[in-house]
Structure 1
């Protein structure tokens, strides 16, 4: 008795494509989580007095996949639009792979940091602390499937 398959090549391709979509959704959720944590950390700091609100509003993030922006979160007004513009400029340096960009977009953000005031430093430290564990969890989830 000969064996015959009851599926075609398009079934296999679709099964792989569906798995890739699932993995991408998990990665997007993970990067969104990290981006939100970083933005919340940076915006909640009281190490400097943001007189216009522009510096805090310019803090935000972009998530890219192969150079395409999948998610963006910035504050309102001048600060938010400036922050997003800066993040999109940085995004041009990353044409492939998954990328999370967190910025404080106002030109004077680095000057504020240089005076020992925390604009993004603690957010960066938070990301460095939690990302390895999230990647390990992601690997476990993918291996369990």
Structure 2
């Protein structure tokens, strides 16, 4: 009996690991698409870089139960090393608000990102957030199908 229980436990743990891999992969894909939508636009479509800090501060983290399990690349643009640091720090801070289950946090970490959207009427994260909220139900359905296999 003990052997069979051990085998069942081992099979359940293997399945749990598979579900986690699929979940993280789906969230990472959505996060990468969001980062690409924000970063890979011309100045006319978004904003014109002065220092590169705002564009460098764009990235994401994935966390499970409040612990970060994956970071995106916060790639430096121009001299935007301050943006890389600010983006990571903001993402790490925001994750602390979510202590249950999985979370994808996408950020533009410079403290003036909101100001660029409000004052200069430029799109930093707003349209990407709407796009991601629209994509999420489809992504979750696909994830459910993958898990059921």
TM-score in terms of structure 1 length: 0.91
- 1: distance between equivalents of 2:27 and 2:90? 19
Instruction: Please state how far the C-alpha of 1:141 moved relative to its aligned partner.
Output: 2.1
Matched, 1:19 2:20: no
Q: What is the SS of the residue equivalent to 1:48?
A: coil
Match of 2:70?
Answer: 71
Alignment root-mean-square deviation, CA = 1.4
Match of 2:88?
Answer: 84
Aligned residues: 140
Moved over 3 A (4+): none
TM-score in terms of structure 2 length: 0.88
5+ long unaligned stretches in structure 1 = none
Match of 2:106?
Answer: 102
- 2: distance between equivalents of 1:142 and 1:62? 22
- 2: distance between equivalents of 1:105 and 1:117? 16
Deviations along 1:6-36, one digit per CA (max 9) or x if unpaired, are 9421111110000000000000000000000
- 1: distance between equivalents of 2:133 and 2:2? 48
Deviates more, 1:17-26 or 1:115-124: 115-124
Match of 2:58?
Answer: 59
Match of 1:131?
Answer: 136
Deviations along 1:86-136, one digit per CA (max 9) or x if unpaired, are 111111111121000001000000000113200011211221121111101
Note if contact 2:22-2:147 (Cα within 8 Å) is conserved in structure 1.
Answer: no
